[in-house]
Chains A and B, each alone.
Chain A
Amino acid sequence: MKYNILTRLRSLMRITIQYACITHCTFEYLGDFVLCKGPSMEPTLFSDNVLLTERISKYWRNYQSGDIIIAVSPVNADQYICKRIVAVSGERIVTQKPHPIEAESVQKPVKTAMTTDYVPRGCVWIEGDNKGNSSDSRYYGPIPLGLIRSRVVCRVWPLSQLSGL
C-alpha cells in the first residue's frame, strides 16, 4: 500500500515537471498571453484586454514600424510595457517633447519645439497611441532591440473585440 502511494507520487511529480517544462518552452519560444494595464495604448487597446503575442520574430528581429510590441521597461526592469514601434533603426523621427508639468498648472499652452533625430543602430523608437498619457521614447529615448520580448498578434479578450492588430 505504501509502495503504491510512493509510485503514484513519483509519476505525478514526473508528469507535473514535464508539463511545466513544456509550458515554459511554449511561452518562452512560441508565444504567450499578456494582460494589458493602463491607458497608454488607447484607443487601440484598453485596460484588461488580453493579447496573444508571438515570440518567433524575436529571432529574426524583423520588426517594422507600426508593430505593437511588449518590451521590458528601460526605467524599471521588473515592468513590461506595451507600445507601438514608430521608427526602426536608420529611420528619421520628428517628435515633440511633452509639455512640462508646470506649464499645465498655469493654463498657458507652451509651444514646445519639434526635434528631428535618427534612430541609432540596434534601437527602435516606441510611442504609445495615447500621445498625451504615455511614457515612452519621448521620455527615455530609443530603446535597444534586446529589450523587446514579443510582438502582439491579436486581441483575444473581450471576445466581442476579437481582432488582429
Chain B
Amino acid sequence: MAFRRFAKSLLYALPLGITFLDCVGYVARVDGISMQPVLNPDAEERDYVFLLRWGIHNSAVERGDIISLISPKDPAQKIIKRVVGMQGDVVSTLGYKHEIVRVPDGHCWVEGDHTGHSLDSNTFGPVAIGLMSARAVAIVWPPERWRILKNELPGRRRPIQVAKTSYYN
C-alpha cells in the first residue's frame, strides 16, 4: 500500500518537476576557467550558478548577459559565455579570421571573460541564437560567493557602433 502511494506521488511529482526545470530554471556547476574572474576565480573551487530558462526564447537576452548555450561544435556539451554582440552589431574580434565582423541575423557573438583562455566566438564564429538554453542570474554555491550576476560588458568589448554613439553623447 505504501509503495502504491509512493508510486502515485512520484507519477504526480515527476512531470511537475521536469516542467519546472524546463520552464523556470535549474542549478548547474561551472567547469573551467573561461569565465574568470566572475565565475570560478579559484580553479580548485567550482561555482554553482542558477540558470534561468524563463524568457530565453523570446529573445530577451541583452549584451553583457551571461548565458549558457549548446556548443556549436559538440551538441552534448554546454558552455557558459558572455554575450558581446547581438544580431546586426559590428564587433572587433580578438584573433578571429576577420578583424571586424558584422554579426549575421539570428546570431550573436559570445566571449568568455578570460580572454585568451576561452573557446568562444573568436574561435568558432558567431553562434545561432537558437542554441541558447538559459541565462545565468546568480551564483548560489558556495555560500560565501553568493551574489547576483550583473549585466556588465567591459567598455573595450562593446560593439563598434554602440561605443561610437556613447562616445559622441
Contacts and interface: CB of A to CB of B under 8 A. Distances in A.
Interface of A: 17-18, 20-22, 24-25, 28-29, 61, 71-78, 120-123, 140, 143-147
B138 interface: no
Contact of B106 (A25, A73, A144): A73
B72 A122 contact: yes
A78 B59 contact: yes
B76 interface: yes
Q: For the complex of A and B, list the 5 residue pairs with the smallest distance between their C-beta atoms, beginning with the closest.
A: A72-B130, A146-B70, A77-B129, A21-B15, A145-B75
Given A61-B76, A121-B74, A145-B75, A72 B128 contact: yes
A145 B75 CA distance: 6
State the majority secondary structure of interface residues on B.
mixed
5 contacts: A75-B105, A77-B59, A122-B73, A144-B72, A144-B73
Contacts of B71: 122, 146
A76 B73 CA distance: 20
Interface string B86-115: 000000000000000000111100000000
Chain B interface size, as a band, is: 20 to 34
A28 B72 contact: no
B19 A25 contact: yes
A77 B107 CA distance: 8
B131 interface: yes
B16 A17 contact: yes
Contacts of A146: 69-72, 75, 130-131
Contact of B107 (A20, A74, A78): A74
A121 B73 contact: yes
A42 B118 CA distance: 43
